[in-house]
Chains A and B, each alone.
Chain A
C-alpha cells in the first residue's frame, strides 16, 4: 500500500530537525524543570523568606540568632561593668556621706591647718580622729579588697590628710584636675582613669566630695581601684564568643583601656591609654552609640562587632566592643546554606533519576506504539503491541492492534477480491479475445463460402448446369444458416455470462427429467437409454439454466455414441472428499485426455462431421462457472465412454473454481 515513502520520510526529517525531542525527553525536561523550579523556589523561600510576608527565611533567622547572641553577650558585659562601677561609686558615696567619716573629718580638719608638711606624719598620727579614720579606711580597703588606696584630701589646700598607703600624708595634689573640679566647679563626684607614670599600670580613681554640715566641700575622698581586678575577667571570652572573640575597652577619646588579644600590624603590642584604636566599632562606642556592625577591625579582618557605651558619670563614658570574626560567626550560616544546597541538589538528582525512570516507563508504551506504527508504515502488518497497560495507553494499544488487524484483514480480503476480479477480468478478457477470434475466424468462414459459391453459381447458371446451380445454392444456404446459428448462440453465450436468474433449491432429479423431456425425441430415435439415479441431492442453482446444462450434456453424449450398440446415459451424483460431484456418464466414443480441455472451447469440434456448432459445451461450462462451480471430463477415449462431472457450491459457500 505505502510504496512511496519519500514524502513521509521528508516530513519525518523536518519534524526531527525542528523538534528533536521524544516524548520521554520532553517529559524529562518538563517535569524535571518543573521539579527543579519548584524545589529551587522552595529552597530559596525557605532560606531567604517570602517577600511581603512575615516569614524571613532560615538564613535571616539564623542571622538574627547570631545578632541576638552577640547582643546578649555585650549587654551582659555592659551590665556587669555598670554594676561593678555602680558598686564602687556606691562605696565612695556611702563612705563620703557616712557620719563617721564626716564627723571625724570635721574634727580633724582644724588640726590639719597649721601643720607643716613634714610634720604631718609625726604629729597628726597622734590625733584620735586621724587614727580612727586611718583604721577605718584600712578596714574598708581590706574588706572590699578592690581598692589599692583610699585617701582623704583637705579641700582647702589640697594636701593628703590620710591615706591607706603610708608615707603619703602631707603630699600636695591641689593641681589634680579632678580635685579642682570638685573644689571649683561644684562637682560632687569625679571619676578618672590614668596611668601610673612609674609602673605604667592603669588606675581608676573615684573622687568624692565630703561636705561639711553647712553643705560646703570640706574634704575630698579619693578611692583608687586596680582596674585589672575587674577588667581582666571582663575580657575573658570563653563561653559563647567562639575562638576569635575579643573584648575591647576604650575611653571617650577612643584610647585603649585594656590590652589587645592580637598584635598590631607592625608587630608591636598596643599600649593602653596611648594607642588610639580607630576601628569603627570602637569609635562609635566611644562616641556614645550602641549597636551591631559588620566591619573590619584593627587587624583588617572582617568581624561582627557589638558595641556599647557605658555611661559612668555625666562627664565620663567608656566604649565596650565585643567582636568575633565574621567567618567564625557566620560559619554555621554558611554551613546551613551549604548543607541545604547539597540536600537540594541530592533531592534534585534523585528526582531527576526518578523522573527519568517514570518518563521512560510512561513513554515506553507510546514508544512501542510509535515503533509499531513505523513498522506498519514500512509495510509489516503483522506487528502487534502488548495491551498490558491499564490506562489510556492500553486503550490506544488495543485500538492500534485491532486497527492493524482490521487493516490486515481488509488487505487480505482486498487481495483476494482483486485476485478474483483480476481473474474474472482476465477470464472476461480471454473470452473477449475468443469472441473476437471467433468472429474473425468462424464468421468469416461462411462468408468465404457464400462469396465463393455465388461466383461459381453465376458461372454455372451461365453454363446452364442446373444441378450444379442447385448444389451451389445449397452450399450458400447452409453457410448463411450457419452464420445465423453462430450469431444466435454467441448472443446466448454472452447473455448467460450477464444474466443469471434467481437461484433456487432444486433436485438434480427434477432437472434431469425436464432435460430428458425436452430432447425425448432425439433420444428415442437414437435408442439411448437414460438412467437417472434415485435420491439425487438438491442444488441451489438457476433452474432454467441447469436444465439447459443437462440438456446440452445429454445431447453431446448422444451425438458421440459412435458405434455403441447399447448406448446408455447415466445421470447421478457421488461424494468426493465431502464434495458432491454430479455427473452425466455415457458409454460412447469417449474423449482422449489431450482433448479434455479443448472440448469446452468455443467451436471446437473433434469431429467435424458431427452436427452442431460446437458451442453447446462452452455454454455448459459457462453456466457452471457462473454458478461458481467447476466442470471437467473423466474419460480415456477409445470407445470407453465419457463422464462429464461438475460441482456446485452449497448455498453460501465459497466458489469451487480455482
Chain B
C-alpha cells in the first residue's frame, strides 16, 4: 500500500448510500482500517450521477475527483441503484471505475441483474458487525491495495 495513494492520487471512494446510519458505519470502518483518504458520500442516485458526471453541484472537478471505487447501495431514492449501475457501466467515461454493489438485499434476481449490468462485485451487508467490519476491511484491501489501476490522471 502506497500510503493511501494510487498513482499519486489520494485513494478516493464514492459511497452511495441513503441510510445515514449505514453510511456512518461504513465510514467508521474505513477510517478504522485507514483504507481510504477520501470518502465522498451521496444519498441518492441522482446525486451520485451528478458527482460522477461532474454536473450540478458537483461541477468542480477538484471537489469531485473520480473515485477509485464506487460503493453502491441498490435501493436509492430518486434514481434507483440499478439505474446508476447501468448508467456507470454504459458510460465510456465511467465504466472502468470498479463498482461494487453493497446492499442488504440477498435476492438472487437483484444479484443477477447487477452482474448483468456489469457490476464488478456484489456484496451483501452482514447483520453481524464483526463480519461487517471485516468485510469492509477486506474490501478496502482488495480494491484499494491489491487491485491495480492502470491510469493516472
Contact = CB atoms under 8 A, between A and B. Distances in A.
Interface residues of B, number: 25
A454 B44 contact: no
A479 B21 contact: yes
B33 interface: no
B75 interface: yes
Contacts of B127: 444, 447-448, 451
B22 A608 contact: no
Contact of B129 (A451, A604, A606, A609): A451
A548 to B, nearest CB: 24
Interface string A365-400: 000000000000000000000000000000000000
A478 B21 CA distance: 10
Count chain A CB atoms within 10 A of each CB in B77, B103, B105, B106 and give the residue with the most: B77
A437 interface: yes
Contacts of B21: 449, 452-453, 475, 478-479
A440 interface: yes
A311 interface: no
Nearest to A598: B80
B104 interface: yes
Interface string A568-606: 000000000000000000000000000100000001111
B112 to A, nearest CB: 14
Given A449-B19, A608-B43, A454 B129 contact: yes
Contacts of B75: 441-442, 603
B28 interface: yes
B81 to A, nearest CB: 11
A610 B130 CA distance: 31
A116 interface: no
Contacts of A436: 107
A452 B25 contact: yes
A437 B128 CA distance: 20
A294 interface: no
A444 B104 contact: yes
Contacts of B105: 437, 440-441
B114 to A, nearest CB: 14
Interface in A447-462: 447-449, 451-456
B125 interface: yes
Contact of B22 (A440, A449, A454): A449
Contact of A608 (B77, B103, B104): B77
B77 A445 contact: no
B77 A606 contact: yes
A506 to B, nearest CB: 35
Interface of A: 436-437, 440-442, 444-445, 447-449, 451-456, 475, 478-479, 595, 603-609
18 contacts: A437-B107, A441-B75, A441-B103, A442-B75, A442-B104, A445-B22, A448-B104, A449-B21, A449-B22, A451-B127, A451-B129, A452-B25, A455-B130, A455-B133, A456-B25, A475-B21, A475-B24, A479-B21
Given A440-B107, A448-B127, A609-B43, 5 more contacts: A444-B104, A445-B19, A448-B25, A451-B128, A606-B78
